[in-house]
Amino acid sequence: MKGYIDPYFYTTPSEQWNLSTFITTYNGSNYEQKETAENLIDSYRADKKECAYLFDVPKSKSVKTAILQNRFELLIESAKSANATLNATFIEADASVSEYQSSDQQVRSTNYESNPFNTGFSQKRKYAFDTEEEEDSGEEYNADKTIVGGRNTTWVVDGINIRQKLTIYQEEKNLTKSKPEYYDVIFFNNKNQDGFLGTLPESTIIKMNKEIMEEIKGAEEEDIRSLLSKIIDRDIHITKENLKEQQNHNDSFEKEFALYFINHMIELIDKNNVLLEDLSEGTFITMVLAPILNKIFIKNKKDWYVKYGETCLRASADDQNSQKRDEERRSPGRKIDAIVIIKEEKEEFSVTEISGPPAQKDWSHFTGDRMKIVKMLKTLMNRYAMLCPNSDIRIVKLYGMQFYLYQLIVYEFQLKYSEIYTVREVLKFPLPRTWKDMKKAHETVIGFLNYEQLLFRSSQKIKDFLWIEGENDETSQSMTTRMVYSPKGPKLAKKARDIFNKL
């Protein structure tokens, strides 16, 4: 949003906002209709005062913050479409704010924090920057290292040594960094036909999946389905009345979240459905996703907190900067849309990526962000292994969420077997875009509640891992790292083959 609203509106008290003085300051052209535009601004004075107050609201008041933010976004969109003069003014303001954005990014690079309402950094520019950075620089995360040692066992299925089989595959394919196998990661999805898994018998893949799979014991689906069927009606106005009747009967967190979700979708869809507009990634996060996640995280607010909006993975920054002198330290790394952090330990354990504008098909962006999530989760897993090299890394599970075309996908990341990381889809559910889509709102509510349960169990296991560090025994050794086996030439390929022939 800072890329759209000029710093004038941050440095000038709201009661002194005046379009004519703003225009005079920039002395631009084509402001013949400035009186009309100024009247438009004045008509929203009450909203502006509340929105100015928004930036002082503590994070704990997330619900009110989300409502005010929603109103602020609608205000900006209305002003933009209602008056061409105002639009031209803000376009010029966009150009003037570039210096302000640069300063803001430097601050975030130092503190690893980000304003959750900062939507100014163009997502297309961000993705282009990410791609260019990956090509031009070294590994952006700690994903080029693989954990060796510890208590992980060799993975043998149907007589196949999976690690040895994967090494041969890496040698033969000369993999690029766009493939999970490059990083010693095996990716399980619904098809399991691509990459390394495509070289294995289907029966073997099924057994492998079962060995890393754990049943999700989440929300009471029937209770949620029954509740929503009583509230959601084809007529949105009837739904509002039904919702009011249920407000005083939210006797559980699950029910409270379900009611909140319905109300949130009503605010987004009723009258002017903002979900049908061409939303940017940043606007989608602040208006749609962040309020939902904030409500989910309220249940665990004593244990977790979340950073939104183009923030950075601290685990990656610590590793990248560990070998540099103070004057050589640089930006903490690639930008991430959201990171969930355990408060007491101050350790990151889950990430979220929004893959392009929500209604825009871009398969390369989707696969690129999916790979980004894999590398981020491997970076986090490696960090935990290095923090407690004698603990049992097998108990740690990390989760990443990806949003694409109004679908949410949750990935589970593990290091259960020796030198093999696995990632698989564990949840996939839709996000309604129209009121008609609300017929399946129970799928979304149940999906988010199950996601919360996965994160809860993950954070508890991580706390156990960090607290209870066992001693080495004859069957295990402290966890260390090696570089990934992704040789670029025949000499490296032969070296990798020789290593595994000696095992």
Listed in sequence order, the residues at least 6 apart from 477 whose beta carbon sits closer than 8 Å to its beta carbon are 149, 150
**According to the model, what pLDDT value does residue 115 have?**
37
Report, as an integer, the average pLDDT of 432-454: 96
DSSP assignment of 140-198 equals SSGGGEEEEEET-B--EETTEEHHHHHHHHHHHHT--TTSGGGGTEEEE-SS--SGGGG
Which residue carries 């990526």 as its tokens?
353
Mean per-residue pLDDT over the chain, rounded: 76
Its pTM stands at 0.69
CA distances from 172 to 33, 164, 424 (A): 67, 13, 24
What the block records as the tokens of 206 is 């099924």
Q: How far apart are CA 125 and CA 94, in angstroms?
A: 15
What the block records as the tokens of 348 is 């990151």
Residue 299, classed as helix, strand or coil, is coil
**According to the model, what pLDDT value does residue 377 have?**
97
Q: Domain extents for the chain?
A: 8-96, 123-322+331-503
Residue 196 has, within 13 A of its CA and on its CB side, a CA count of 28
Instruction: Please name which of 182, 183, 188 lies closest in space to residue 424, comparing C-alpha atoms.
Output: 188
- The answer, yes or no, to whether residue 131 has pLDDT greater than 80, is no
User: Of all helices (H) and strands (E), which one includes residue 349?
Assistant: strand 347-354
Please answer whether residues 362 and 128 qualify as being in contact, where contact means their C-beta atoms are separated by less than 8 angstroms.
no
pLDDT bracket for residue 108 (50, 70, 90): very low
**According to the model, what pLDDT value does residue 67 have?**
59
DSSP assignment of 202-241 equals HHHHHHHHHHH--------HHHHHHHHHHH--SSHHHHHH
Q: How far apart are CA 85 and CA 225, in angstroms?
A: 48
- The answer, yes or no, to whether residue 218 has pLDDT greater than 80, is no
Report, as an integer, the average pLDDT of 119-146: 51
- The answer, yes or no, to whether residue 330 has pLDDT greater than 50, is no
Q: How far apart are CA 6 and CA 88, in angstroms?
A: 13
What the block records as the tokens of 321 is 């900067």
**According to the model, what pLDDT value does residue 298 have?**
86
**According to the model, what pLDDT value does residue 304 have?**
93
- The answer, yes or no, to whether residue 214 has pLDDT greater than 60, is yes
Say which range, 71-80, 85-94, 154-163, has the weakest mean pLDDT. Answer: 85-94
**According to the model, what pLDDT value does residue 476 have?**
63
Say which range, 36-50, 82-96, 358-372, 444-458, has the weakest mean pLDDT. Answer: 82-96
**Which amino acid does the sequence have at 209?**
N
Instruction: Please name which of 292, 301, 315 lies closest in space to residue 387, comparing C-alpha atoms.
Output: 315
pLDDT bracket for residue 15 (50, 70, 90): low
